[in-house]
């Protein structure tokens, strides 16, 4: 039996180890899915964003932080059974070994290495290379097949250092001290990263947040990420008494254009996202202060990471796959797009965040997106 398995392993191709199914990437010898798009018996989850971490699975294996985030976002009963993965510790699942490594995307985010019969596949989930005070930095893992995102997979996307963008925000606050600054930021990851960067830049004033962010902000604090004085934007009469002049308010991106935002007199509308690199994108959304802060790898970092893994085969899950596949092919690598529908770019995630925001907030019924 052992000998048979060895023979099986030797002939194992990457596509035997990980195959594309309607529910997402599936590992037959381990009998699990990674970031499945619909409920499955066993799921490995790279990180807590709603397009990757969906409720309703039988068993879930993820980092402690990701499990906690899922419990906050989807409710305590988000799955049947859960198991915490420890970064860097190999685990045996069926006929394969899996190891979680940090991805640097958001708190708890991980890459997943799958090994069997000498073949190593790394599914990186979403990742970035830029330092982020709210999560463990990305580590390149040597592998044969590297599965990457390409959200910002075009050479026009080069993210500037996030601290410079935060400095621009603070400059604007200094220039318009009588106005509030309404900053659109995804509720998971971006909002906390901005808060931490603002603190690092010496901004000690209270940060106001939209109600939809309250629980995740609190969770980050609980998990040991200090964010300073965070206050929920008051409602009703108390809101009328509060002056937001000179304040920074973090909210889900869609909220900057919703009725909720009317309580702030003449705000400067900002949006922290990699998409803000493209002017037309910022203008379409009515953004006055675009902040190019992304939790995804930019073009240079995608290319750098592909090189550093030493992989000879690159699978691109979602995003601007064509350009990255072209670049890999030019370098003599085998590359293919997986066209995983359901993993969104930031904008769709924003829409999803917006729904959550409306549902969690005290907004009137007419505010709920139809």
Q: Binding of other proteins at residue 262 (CB under 8 A)?
A: yes
Least separation in angstroms between CB 241 and other proteins: 21
The least distance separating other proteins from the CB of residue 266, rounded to whole angstroms, comes to 6
Binding of residue 137 to other proteins (CB under 8 A): no
Considering only 9, 97, 136, 304, the residue that binds other proteins (CB under 8 A) is: 304
Cβ proximity to other proteins: between 136 and 257 the closer is 257
Cβ proximity to other proteins, 171 vs 229, nearer residue: 171
Q: Phi/psi zone of residue 236: left (φ > 0), alpha (ψ -120 to 50 degrees), beta? A: left
| DSSP 8-state class, residue 16 | H
Q: How far apart are CA 105 and CA 180, in angstroms?
A: 29
Considering only 5, 6, 167, 322, the residue that binds other proteins (CB under 8 A) is: 322
* Smallest gap from residue 123 Cβ to other proteins (A): 21
Q: Give the one residue of 95, 139, 288, 360 binding other proteins; rule: CB under 8 A.
A: 288
* Total interface residues for other proteins by CB under 8 A: 44
Among 47, 73, 277, 296, binds other proteins (CB under 8 A): 277
- In 235-276, the DSSP E strands lie at 248-251, 268-272
Choosing from 235, 257, 312, 334, the residue that interacts with other proteins (CB under 8 A) is 257
The runs of H, that is alpha helices, within the chain are: 2-10, 14-17, 64-74, 162-175, 190-200, 214-222, 236-241, 279-284, 299-309, 321-330, 346-360
Q: Based on the number of CB atoms within 10 Å of its own CB, is 365 exposed (0-12), middle (13-18) or buried (19 or more)?
A: exposed
Q: Is 300 exposed, middle or buried (0-12, 13-18, 19+ CB in 10 A)?
A: middle
Rule CB under 8 A: is residue 332 a binding residue for other proteins?
no
DSSP 8-state secondary structure symbol assigned to residue 259? G
Closest CB to other proteins among residues 170, 307: 307
Q: How far apart are CA 29 and CA 164, in angstroms?
A: 46
- Does the footprint of other proteins cover residue 259 (CB under 8 A)? yes
> CA dist 70 to 30, 49, 63, 230, Å?
23, 9, 11, 22
Q: Does 225 engage in binding with other proteins (CB under 8 A)? A: no
Diameter of the chain by CA atoms? 76
Can residue 318 be called a binding residue for other proteins (CB under 8 A)? no
Q: What are φ and ψ of residue 66, in 5° steps?
A: -65, -40
Cβ closest to other proteins, residue 65 vs residue 298: 298
Question: Does the protein bind other proteins through residue 60 (CB under 8 A)?
Answer: no
Closest distance to other proteins from the beta carbon of 286 (Å):
5
DSSP SS3 for 319: strand
Token pair 């009963």: residue: 77
Specify the residue, 2 or 175, whose C-beta has the smaller distance to other proteins: 175
Q: Name the site residues for other proteins (rule: CB under 8 A).
A: 154-158, 160, 175-176, 256-259, 261-262, 266, 269, 277-280, 282-290, 300, 303-304, 306-308, 320, 322-323, 326-327, 330-331, 366, 370
């Amino acid at each position: 039996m052992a000998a048979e398995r060895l023979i099986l392993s030797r002939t194992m191709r990457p596509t035997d180890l990980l195959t594309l199914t309607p529910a997402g990437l599936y590992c037959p010898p381990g009998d699990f899915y990674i970031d499945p798009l619909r409920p499955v018996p066993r799921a490995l989850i790279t990180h807590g964003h709603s397009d990757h971490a969906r409720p309703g699975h039988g068993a879930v294996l993820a980092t402690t932080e990701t499990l906690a985030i899922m419990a906050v976002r989807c409710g305590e009963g988000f799955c049947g059974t859960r198991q915490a993965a420890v970064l860097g510790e190999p685990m045996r699942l069926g006929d394969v070994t899996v190891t979680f490594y940090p991805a640097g995307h958001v708190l708890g985010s991980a890459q997943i290495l799958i090994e069997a019969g000498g073949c190593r596949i790394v599914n990186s989930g979403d990742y970035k290379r830029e330092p982020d005070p709210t999560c463990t930095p990305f580590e390149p893992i040597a592998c044969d097949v590297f599965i990457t995102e390409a959200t910002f997979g075009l050479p026009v996307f080069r993210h500037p250092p996030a601290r410079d963008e935060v400095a621009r925000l603070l400059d604007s606050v200094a220039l318009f001290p009588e106005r509030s600054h309404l900053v659109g930021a995804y509720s998971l990851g971006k909002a906390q990263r901005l808060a931490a960067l603002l603190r690092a830049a010496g901004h000690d004033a209270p940060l106001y947040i939209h109600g939809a962010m309250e629980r995740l902000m609190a969770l980050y604090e609980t998990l040991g990420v200090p964010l300073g004085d965070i206050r929920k934007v008051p409602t009703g009469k108390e809101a009328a008494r509060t002056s937001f002049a000179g304040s920074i308010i973090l909210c889900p991106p869609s909220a900057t254009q919703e009725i909720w935002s009317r309580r702030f007199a003449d705000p400067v509308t900002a949006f922290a996202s990699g998409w803000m690199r493209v002017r037309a994108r910022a203008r379409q959304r009515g953004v006055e202060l675009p902040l190019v802060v992304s939790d995804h790898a930019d073009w240079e970092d995608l290319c750098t990471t592909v090189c550093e893994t030493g992989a000879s085969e690159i699978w691109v899950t979602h995003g601007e796959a064509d350009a990255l596949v072209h670049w890999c092919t030019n370098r003599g690598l085998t590359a293919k797009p997986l066209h995983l529908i359901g993993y969104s770019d930031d904008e769709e995630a924003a829409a999803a965040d917006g729904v959550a925001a409306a549902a969690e907030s005290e907004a009137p019924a007419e505010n709920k997106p139809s």
